[in-house]
Amino acid sequence: MTEEEVRERAVAVCQALVGGDVERVIGMLSEELRRNPGEVVAMLPLPALEATVGSIEGASGGAAYVAVLDVTSESERVELQTRWKDRNGEPRIVEVSHLSRVEHVEEAPAAEDAEGTTEDAT
């Protein structure tokens, strides 16, 4: 398993999240995580508007890689740390955790003046 293989799979996870293809994401989990995918799915900000691979770091000898995914939905932005290991010759996600979670705060609507145009309320 190489860093490039993990990057390709991590990008595919991001594309699946934006495409709403949760089954594809579940398909990239290890057998252990697929036994109870609800825990992983509950961590995902769905539907995702944008998802990118933030970074990938390898453990010594390439036995495991950690990829950070930046995922944004309408209500929040989440950094997910995914740990990847070789399972039957393919990189699989063996662990998922939140690094950070920021909820989007809706801005107050701008005030309208007497002519019906919108101005900043400052």
Contact present, 78 and 45 (Cβ < 8 Å): yes
Domain at 28, CATH number: 3.10.450.50
Determine, yes or no, domain membership for 120.
no
Determine, yes or no, domain membership for 116.
no
Determine, yes or no, domain membership for 81.
yes
Q: pLDDT by residue (tens digit) across 4-41?
A: 999 999 999 999 999 999 999 999 999 999 999 999 99
pTM (predicted TM-score): 0.80
Q: Which residue range is the domain that position 21 belongs to?
A: 3-104
Determine, yes or no, domain membership for 24.
yes
DSSP per residue, 8-45: HHHHHHHHHHHHT-HHHHHHTB-HHHHTSTHHHHHHS-
Determine, yes or no, domain membership for 49.
yes
Q: pLDDT by residue (tens digit) across 53-90?
A: 999 999 766 689 999 999 999 999 999 999 999 999 99
Determine, yes or no, domain membership for 68.
yes
Dihedral sign for Cα atoms in the order 52, 55, 59, 60? positive
Strands 48-58 and 118-119: what pairing? Answer: unpaired
Tally of domains in the chain: 1
Contact present, 51 and 69 (Cβ < 8 Å): yes
Determine, yes or no, domain membership for 67.
yes
